[in-house]
Structure 1
Amino acid sequence: MKVSSCLFNSLMLSAGVGLLAPLVQAGERVEEAQPAPVELDTAFVTASGAATDLRDAPASVSVITREEIERQPVYDLNTLLRRVPGVTGGFGPVGEQSKIKLRGLDDKYTLILVDGKRVGSSADLSYRRDLARQDLNWISPNMIERIEIVRGPMSSLYGSDAMGGVINIITRKVSRTWTGSASTHITVPKDSDRGQTTQYSVNATGPLTESLGLRLGANVTRRAADEVEARRDARGDFMYDDGAGGSKDQSMNALLDWQINEEQSLSFEAVHGVEHSWSSKKTFGDWDETVGGAFGPSRLTRDSYILSHSGDWSFGTSKLDAYLNRYRNDLEVGKANSEEKIVEGSLNLPFELLVDQRLTLGGQWKREELTNTDTLGTVPVDYRGTPVSGSTLKGDYSAAFIEDELFLLDNLSLTLGNRFDHSDKYGNHNSPRAYVVYHPHPDWTVRGGVSKGFRAPSLKEGSAGAATESGGRGCGSLRPLGYVTGSCWMAGNPNLRPETSTNKEIGVSFDHDGWEAGLTYFHTDFTDKIADFGERDRAFR
């Protein structure tokens, strides 16, 4: 039985813990602070440069609210997201079927944000990207206020990586009074040879002074390895995708929020996480030392540091973020590190010129670095098989974007935008967008638009010196792409060009007294799509 068809019996144990303010006068009544409800009419911020009425959002969007998260006993975000229209994947703990995909596009086309900021990507540190876990579970569900999902390209706002859409995880804000919670979540599979999952989460938030607040959170999730007997297919290759390895994920975060005055706030956040993973001998059978190191124990570490400033001025609002994302993957056969430095900001200016308008201006600077000390035990070769030297890859990117929402009528709006991206390796690129939202009736919405998508090759995809080898066990998970059998290696190609796409969509939706329905047609034309060469002389490239 495949992982995707397993039945799970879930047990959710939770306990709320109220934390009182440190100074309370005797006999004074203290009420536990309740989180403010999510006002969906004005909460949606991912599809445009400013907070927007959900029904007016210039994109195909869905929102998972805090109430929905609390009603569903889940320990990971994949389980929540796979129920959203237009989302596929989320079945099983590892492998391709575990990846969340928007509109059928590979997970690398989905940009993951937390509070509007990139979380980085650990996929290029993995022995094989197709077997890497998606960077969705560094935060526990009880820290989340809502999740905003935008289906379709958002390159005009977010640039590369948002070609398929955006998942923006909005966390709970610092409370004005001390409050906290703790929860335990246990998932027991119906089949005894599948691994059990246990999760422990705790968080607390409250004021330190009148203007300074603190939020703390910690999460531990452990999944036992499957004990499925290793099998071979008709070719004699191991079918190791039948069983998933074990993992233990630990994460901690701390956020300091300083309300400078009524117009300005400054915050600093630090995030640390460690993901241990291992394989089951019973599932994976016998393998040599190289393969055992690649698929055996590993330790992935994530550290993020974020400094943010928000301003609410007489002329508009501003946002400025500077942050650092670091990942380190330790395997028995080698180490790999990635670092991402980002500075980005935006300015939102409402004004009236013939009609009411809302103008958003912004920019971004990003530097990426990928270091793979020994290419995971293999000799670095290019896509032709020629040995090359060098294992540290770097890339610099900068961008400027503009977006204008024009409210032509009370029930009709037009959004126009464009983003200009510059890469030190791939040059300049424009990503324009035009989108219309029309309400013919209070219960009905018609929306549609045309946009350009853009994605630059990752550091690993575009480098001849980034290569990994199967180590003798083959690449069975790549068979849908043309791979047949035998050992294989995968390497980057320095001659790649950025992927681009032209996207068209039109949809209609109905919403009345809790009854919702919608239908959307979309069409995407790819240009210079990055794909694997396929098997050639026992090499899959």
Structure 2
Amino acid sequence: MRSIFTLVCLVICTASVCAQTEEGVIEEKTAENPIQLMEMVVTGQSEPQSLRNSVYQVRTIDSERIRMRGATNLQTVLNTELGIRFSNDLTLGTSDIQLMGMSGRNVKILLDGIPMVDRGSTRESLGQIDINSIERIEIVEGPMSVMYGTDALAGVINIITKKGHSGSNLILSARMQEETAGKEYNAFDKKGIHNQSLALTWQNQRLQFSGNVSRNNFGGWQGKSVGREKDWMPKEQMLYTAGARYQGSRWNIWYRFNGADETIRYFGKRNIYTQIAGDKDYTSKRWFHQVQSELKVNEKLNLNGVLSYTDYSRRTLSTNVDANDRRTLSLEPGSQDKSIFTTTFLRGTAFYKVSNAFSIMSGIDFSDNGSSGARISGTPGIAEYAVFIAPEIKVGDVLRLTPGLRFLKNSVYDAPPAIPSLNGKLTISKTLDFRFGYARGFRSPALRELYFDFVDASHSIHGNTNLKAEYSNSFNSFLAWQAATRPHFRLTSTLGGFYNIFNDLIDLALDPQNASRTTYLNVHLFKTTGFTIDNKLFTKHIQASLGGSYIGRYNQFSADPELYGELPQFQWSPEINAYLLYTFTKIRAGVNLFYKYSGKRPNYESADLINVNLAETEGFHTADLTVNKSFGKYVNLLAGARNLFNVTTLNNTSTDTGGAHSTGGAVPMSYGRSWFLGLNIQWSKN
């Protein structure tokens, strides 16, 4: 293989790293001691809460695990997490996430507690967040509709960014990483993956200013394609962040800007007669502004406010390239297009601690979503207003209960008058906790599902203004055992189960009136259920985990099963995952292994909503291996291999091969085994 990787870079690192959320320092690590001293969570909490005291089941991915993955995107970090799967659309260059058997709009993606905006059911926003700005990730399993509203039926993924350290300091950081795409790599012709990042932070006791810019360049992957075509399309991405923060004794406020400028390039096949090829550039621009503030009125009352604005657009530029590589604009209908999606979001919360046994959190939410473009019918908008309340009741040290109610008004759909939830934690013993929860869910169709029409050579997807809103009832429970909690040794085991019932779930299907069109339809009844087990070990030198899940999914396509056929049973899929981070203290090095087995995925499908058949996607193994070594006080080297089992595509028995949005044929998963090398040199004034 060709010589890889010429690297020059400057970055930051201190012997100890403090991870911090907007509420304060939550953990501390050193190179010599990776064990977490105090693991805190903030997602869904009235105030920062220790992981054990939370009434919600929360999984965390800390900064150490993120750093050791050597990831250039969030998908790499999440793809070995239990219950999470990704699907890829190679025609559009996008990916979607699935959580605990549910996907798309039912998974809420938050950035520092603020919803991310997407065009539709796919969660493109996950790939447009700078991995270098992330401190930790919190995953809440189960519905959070009362706290976070629409899209939180399956759960919440909250991405928490770095907020800096206390005291005065000047921090300069940079990163450079080179990676192959399968066997393809060249430093000079853009083959492979090339990542560079540069960040600067200045702060004193009260003020902080920070900025970060990252460039990701993926040259695509030829795979089995020939000529100009590629199995995976090239992607160029620039990511920007800038922030300012004021910290007072009782009041703080901070502003953050996140920008993404991304272009995905599709190279068409040349016509054998005219020698003309049709190319497409898909250009996305995301400008995300957020302001957050906290006021501590007194020891009992805290007020928080959030305001954000997102301007997200995706443009399609179609060109024709002749035999002499001369490029002209395509004149085909719909070949030039730009769709714009905007969201204004406002959230205010108040937390009042009446006593040690009783506290109450209440708040208001407002979101205003608008869209426009040639493929969108008119300039539609959807606004939603909500008021929620969630008291917490403590019965001694044994029981915590958090009932909740959300009252909402939707400008398009008749929302239920109130959405209830109940979460609780029972302390059975000093080492054993039992969590349980119920929540009612409601989701109105998104603008894309209602009004967006997308037609090209590979797609014919049309919005459906007759869609109904989704409703759900969800139940979950978890038994957590703290087997050992000594200072340098911690062992935990968690056994969980869940059951979700969805009515009128929105999904893509062939239009019953026109088999050449794909549209959004309501599935009459959809259920998921399953069991999970997760075991974690932390010592002075080791972070390790071993877990598994068994998840079932059930579809009934019609309210009249005697006419259209009722699906007979749940279809099940297993998963196993594990990771191991081992630190060699004396030589300041480490080796890290991440593994997951995703079992076969059965799925009922119907091309005409009358005849139903069972399709199946085969299971697969994936694993990443990385090694790291520190040199001196500031330099760190990270190298490794991804996708050790060299998975590219999965066999799929779906018979849907004739539709405009076909699910038939091989399922793309990756571009094969790849190798990477990254160099970090980190500098801090103090």
TM-score, normalization by structure 1? 0.79
State how 1:11-30 maps to structure 2 within 5 Å: 17=11
Letter in 1 for 2:503: T
Q: How far apart, in 2, do the equivalents of 1:290 and 1:462 lie?
A: 36
Secondary structure of the structure 1 residue equivalent to 2:127? coil
Letter in 2 for 1:187: E
Q: Can you give the 5+ residue segments of structure 1 that lack an aligned partner in the other structure?
A: 1-8, 20-30, 232-239, 381-389, 476-488
Alpha-carbon spacing, 1:152–1:107, altered in 2? closer, same or farther (3 Å): same
Is 1:272 matched up with 2:268?
no
1:264 shift after superposition: 0.4
Aligned residue for 1:248? 236
Q: Can you give the 5+ residue segments of structure 2 that lack an aligned partner in the other structure?
A: 20-24, 28-35, 318-335, 520-686
Q: 2:386 touches 2:408 (CA, 8 Å); kept in 1?
A: yes
Q: 2:175 touches 2:197 (CA, 8 Å); kept in 1?
A: yes
Alpha-carbon spacing, 1:12–1:357, altered in 2? closer, same or farther (3 Å): farther
Q: How far apart, in 2, do the equivalents of 1:496 and 1:204 lie?
A: 48
Aligned residue for 1:167? 157
Q: 1:42 touches 1:51 (CA, 8 Å); kept in 2?
A: no
Aligned equivalent of 1:257, options 230, 236, 245: 245
Letter in 2 for 1:56: N
Aligned residue for 1:371? 372
Moved more, 320-329 or 99-108: 99-108
Is 1:491 matched up with 2:442?
no
Q: How far apart, in 2, do the equivalents of 1:186 and 1:431 lie?
A: 48
Aligned residue for 1:317? 302
Secondary structure of the structure 2 residue equivalent to 1:190? coil
Aligned residue for 1:517? 493
Aligned equivalent of 1:437, options 425, 445, 450: 425
1:270 shift after superposition: 2.1
Q: How far apart, in 1, do the equivalents of 2:469 and 2:275 lie?
A: 37
Alpha-carbon spacing, 1:16–1:413, altered in 2? closer, same or farther (3 Å): farther
Aligned residue for 1:58? 55
Secondary structure of the structure 2 residue equivalent to 1:457? coil
State how 1:145-224 maps to structure 2 within 5 Å: 145-175=135-165, 176=167, 177-192=169-184, 196-207=192-203, 210-224=205-219
Q: 1:398 touches 1:423 (CA, 8 Å); kept in 2?
A: yes
Q: 2:510 touches 2:516 (CA, 8 Å); kept in 1?
A: no
Q: How far apart, in 1, do the equivalents of 2:273 and 2:346 lie?
A: 45
Alpha-carbon spacing, 1:111–1:99, altered in 2? closer, same or farther (3 Å): same
Alpha-carbon spacing, 1:448–1:331, altered in 2? closer, same or farther (3 Å): same
Alpha-carbon spacing, 1:11–1:62, altered in 2? closer, same or farther (3 Å): farther
Q: 1:226 touches 1:280 (CA, 8 Å); kept in 2?
A: no
1:59 shift after superposition: 2.3
Alpha-carbon spacing, 1:165–1:10, altered in 2? closer, same or farther (3 Å): farther
Aligned equivalent of 1:35, options 15, 18, 21: 18
Alpha-carbon spacing, 1:227–1:416, altered in 2? closer, same or farther (3 Å): same
Q: How many residues were matched structurally?
A: 468
Aligned residue for 1:305? 289
Aligned residue for 2:523? none
1:280 shift after superposition: 3.5
Q: How far apart, in 2, do the equivalents of 1:326 and 1:185 lie?
A: 30
Aligned residue for 1:346? 349
1:494 shift after superposition: 1.8
Q: How far apart, in 1, do the equivalents of 2:405 and 2:345 lie?
A: 20
1:538 shift after superposition: 2.1
1:11 shift after superposition: 7.8
1:457 shift after superposition: 0.3
Q: 2:144 touches 2:152 (CA, 8 Å); kept in 1?
A: yes
Is 1:404 matched up with 2:391?
yes
Q: How far apart, in 1, do the equivalents of 2:170 and 2:385 lie?
A: 41
1:18 shift after superposition: 5.3
1:522 shift after superposition: 0.6
1:428 shift after superposition: 2.9
Secondary structure of the structure 1 residue equivalent to 2:55? coil
Letter in 2 for 1:494: T
Is 1:49 matched up with 2:35?
no
Secondary structure of the structure 2 residue equivalent to 1:228? coil
Q: How far apart, in 1, do the equivalents of 2:95 and 2:481 lie?
A: 31
Q: How far apart, in 2, do the equivalents of 1:10 and 1:508 lie?
A: 48
1:291 shift after superposition: 10
1:97-145 Cα distance to aligned partner (Å, 9 max, x none): 9422211211221111111112211x34xxxx66xx6211333323211
1:182-207 Cα distance to aligned partner (Å, 9 max, x none): 11122213333996211111212122
Moved more, 32-41 or 296-305: 32-41
Aligned equivalent of 2:446, options 430, 455, 458: 458
1:70 shift after superposition: 1.9
Q: 2:282 touches 2:315 (CA, 8 Å); kept in 1?
A: yes
1:502 shift after superposition: 0.4
Q: How far apart, in 2, do the equivalents of 1:440 and 1:86 lie?
A: 27
Secondary structure of the structure 1 residue equivalent to 2:217? strand
1:288 shift after superposition: 11
Letter in 2 for 1:184: M
1:149 shift after superposition: 0.6
1:437 shift after superposition: 1.0
Is 1:467 matched up with 2:464?
no
1:398 shift after superposition: 0.6
Secondary structure of the structure 2 residue equivalent to 1:528? strand
1:534 shift after superposition: 2.0
1:13 shift after superposition: 6.9
Moved more, 111-120 or 438-447: 438-447
Q: How far apart, in 2, do the equivalents of 1:319 and 1:91 lie?
A: 38
Q: 1:204 touches 1:215 (CA, 8 Å); kept in 2?
A: yes
Secondary structure of the structure 1 residue equivalent to 2:384? strand
1:391-416 Cα distance to aligned partner (Å, 9 max, x none): 31111111111111211131321111
Aligned residue for 2:113? 116
Q: How far apart, in 2, do the equivalents of 1:428 and 1:256 lie?
A: 38
Q: How far apart, in 2, do the equivalents of 1:147 and 1:10 lie?
A: 31
Letter in 2 for 1:454: F
Secondary structure of the structure 2 residue equivalent to 1:55? coil
Letter in 1 for 2:192: Q
Letter in 1 for 2:249: E
Alpha-carbon spacing, 1:517–1:280, altered in 2? closer, same or farther (3 Å): farther
Letter in 2 for 1:525: I
Aligned residue for 2:554? none
Secondary structure of the structure 2 residue equivalent to 1:56? coil
Secondary structure of the structure 2 residue equivalent to 1:249? strand
Q: How far apart, in 1, do the equivalents of 2:273 and 2:415 lie?
A: 47
1:273 shift after superposition: 1.6
1:95 shift after superposition: 7.3
Q: 1:50 touches 1:360 (CA, 8 Å); kept in 2?
A: no
Aligned equivalent of 2:340, options 324, 337, 340: 337
Secondary structure of the structure 2 residue equivalent to 1:274? strand
Secondary structure of the structure 1 residue equivalent to 2:102? coil
Q: 2:271 touches 2:277 (CA, 8 Å); kept in 1?
A: no
1:299-323 Cα distance to aligned partner (Å, 9 max, x none): 1111122222111221321111111
Moved more, 54-63 or 339-348: 54-63
Secondary structure of the structure 1 residue equivalent to 2:506? coil
Select the structure that is richer in helix. Answer: 1
The percentage of aligned residue pairs carrying the same residue is 21
1:213-266 Cα distance to aligned partner (Å, 9 max, x none): 1011111111112213449xxxxxxxx9x821110110111111122x300012
Q: How far apart, in 2, do the equivalents of 1:408 and 1:206 lie?
A: 45
Q: How far apart, in 2, do the equivalents of 1:422 and 1:274 lie?
A: 34
CA-atom RMSD in angstroms: 3.2
1:77 shift after superposition: 1.0
Q: 1:42 touches 1:53 (CA, 8 Å); kept in 2?
A: yes
1:509 shift after superposition: 2.3
